[in-house]
Amino acid sequence: MSRLLPLSDAAWPARLAPGLFVLIWATGFVVARLVAPHADPLTFLCARFGLTTLVLTGLAASAGATWPRGWRGWRDAMVSGILIHGVYLDAVFWAVHRGLPAGIAALVASLQPLLTAAVAGPLLGERVSLQRWLGIAVGLVGAGLVLAPKLGATGGIPPEALGICFCGTVGITLGTLWQKRKAVSVDLRTNAAAQFVGALLFTLPLALLTETGQFDLSTPLLLGLAWAVFGLSVGGILILLGLIRRGAVAGVAALFYLVPPVSAAMAFGLFGETLAPVQLLGMVVAVLGVAIASRG
């Protein structure tokens, strides 16, 4: 076990880490739904990005971690942060604030690994196998089953919110590819802190230009903010890095597709959000597509 990440120590056995990661990651979409009535989405994310930067900076400083060297190192980290955290989270929170159900937002976001596989060939020169293309096709069919019944229906899925959420998925896909190319030998702790600086610099002007700054300091908002910073932005990322450090990359990719049904179950219990039987079937089909695409 690596001693660099406390979450990979015996205190949290390896067999519990994947399930814990799914539970934590799924709460991100629930947090977006929880805070929607209490804060403007981008204003909330500015607070989240700022506090996360302070926490990660403190952790990196206490560990004596090496910070990015020169402008190029900071630029590469901040571009990753703009795409992975800024574009992606801005889009998800804005879409949920505009009425996109948390479970649907989770499903759209979970298409990211399949989208990555689709663009890896032209952008990175990687060969995508026929099996992976089959998985992509099955996953898209599943997504279609989930989305089709509610598109255009009264009280259904808002098309503009769905489109913005998908744009966020494109953003995190491009950010992942950028990170893969530019962050081969960086310290992940300081790189993450620099990423959130980029996300804050991207989101703050948008919040100032488009929002009123609503932030009512209610109990649900403060609890959601605390969990978003310490549970998601710090805890979830550390667990993810711990899984990858133990060589569980393929397993982590598959875990992302368990997030939508868990998010949907949480949203049903907390907010009464429901899915039709055909939509539940679509989630199962989407998970099957990911399983096919992730094999090997």
**Is residue 133 assigned to a domain?**
yes
**CA neighbours closer than 13 Å in the CB half-sphere of residue 72:** 3
Report whether 233 contacts 59 (CB < 8 A).
no
* Structural domain includes residue 49: yes
Distance between CA atoms of 294 and 165, rounded to whole angstroms? 23
In a domain, 31, yes or no: yes
Q: Bigger pLDDT: 5 or 136?
A: 136
In this predicted model, which residue has the larger pLDDT, 172 or 111?
172
Is 146 domain-assigned?
yes
Q: Where in the sequence is the domain holding 241, given as residue range(s)?
A: 6-294
Q: What is the mean pLDDT of residues 248-256?
A: 54
> What is the identity of the amino acid at 283?
M
Token match 């997504």: residue? 143
Q: What tokens were used for 227?
A: 């969990």
Whole-angstrom distance, CA of residue 31 vs CA of residue 27: 6
- The pLDDT confidence band at residue 5, using thresholds 50, 70 and 90, is very low
Half-sphere exposure of 51 (CA within 13 A, CB side): 18
Q: Is the pLDDT of residue 110 over 90?
A: no
Tell me whether residue 1 is in a domain.
no
> What pLDDT was estimated at residue 222?
95
Whole-angstrom distance, CA of residue 4 vs CA of residue 289: 34
pLDDT at 12: 43
pLDDT, residue 229, reads: 95
Specify which of 11-15, 117-121, 251-255 reaches the highest per-range mean pLDDT: 117-121
Most confident of 237-246, 253-262, 281-290: 281-290
Taking residue 31's Cβ as centre, other Cβ atoms within 10 Å add up to 22
Residue 50 has pLDDT above 80, yes or no: yes
CA 180 to chain centre: 16
Instruction: Tell me how many domains the chain contains.
Output: 1
Distance CA 4, CA 2 (A): 5
Look at residue 265 and tell me if it is in a domain: yes
User: What does the alpha-carbon distance between residue 111 and residue 125 come to, in Å, rounded to a whole number?
Assistant: 21
Range among 57-61, 109-113, 134-138 rated most confident:
57-61
